[in-house]
Amino acid sequence: MSKKTVLKLMRELGLRCLVRRRKRYNSFRGDVGQAAENVLDRQFGAETAHTKWVTDVTEFNVGTTKVYLSPVLDLHDSRIISATAGPSPSVKMVTDGLRMAIDTLLPDEKPLVHSDQGFQYRHTLWRDTLRGAGLTQSMSRKGTCLDNAVMEGFFSHLKEEWFRIQKPETVEEFHAGLTDYLEWWNTTRLQERLGYLSPDEYRTQLAAIV
């Protein structure tokens, strides 16, 4: 059945789909700190692991509480390298996640790290952490979410496939469900662009070939 037919039937029945209907969290707080060039320039492909990372912050409403999530995703195979979550989208929270990701690197691995122009990524703590690890910073152009489209896509999948279905009612349920989802994403969830393998399966397959 075509999408147009489905849309027509939904309109006749008065049905509305909530998928992708969201108020996007906006981390921009004005021109505070220093912005970086858009080095990534929408070149989302990566031949090898740990050459291009993307990150962002998204917001969840859990009961009467807000929870913020900051993952780091490898563009090579869409694997989530690290993720931190907490009640505030603080510079410390996102930088702690960056440091967790950096700890997975070998000495010769120096990925480009791309984000939007949120205040966290313009802060000296974030920039100094990148510089100290020898990593290159990249930022989307102001107000251009497509410059970080892969990260936006991950957030959409996360909310469609887990959050809107499971609807955690407490922060404890949120963290438990998030941990399960991220493990499933890395180890089990098939992705078309990876030849219908999970990120871990794809990485293992390439390692066997090499």
Average pLDDT over the chain, rounded to whole?
A: 92
Give the whole-number percent of the chain exceeding pLDDT 90.
81
pLDDT digits (tens, 9 = 90+) for 132-179: 999 999 999 998 999 999 999 999 999 999 999 999 999 999 999 999
Indicate the length of the chain as a whole number: 210
Burial class (CB in 10 A: 0-12, 13-18, 19+), 136: middle
- Rounded to whole angstroms, what are the CA distances from 171 to 10, 13, 88, 96, 98? 34, 35, 13, 20, 23
Going along the chain from its start, the domains and CATH numbers come out as 47-209 (3.30.420.10)
CA angle 169, 174, 178 (to 5 degrees): 150
Which of the two residues, 25 and 127, has the higher pLDDT score?
A: 127
Query: pLDDT category, 93, cuts 50, 70, 90?
Result: very high
User: What does the alpha-carbon distance between residue 189 and residue 202 come to, in Å, rounded to a whole number?
Assistant: 11
pLDDT by residue (tens digit) across 95-115?
999 999 999 999 999 999 999
Mean pLDDT of 79-85: 98
Q: Which of 119, 140, 158 is nearest to 20 (CA)?
A: 158
Single-letter amino acid, residue 57: V
- The answer to whether the beta carbons of residues 89 and 27 sit under 8 Å apart is yes
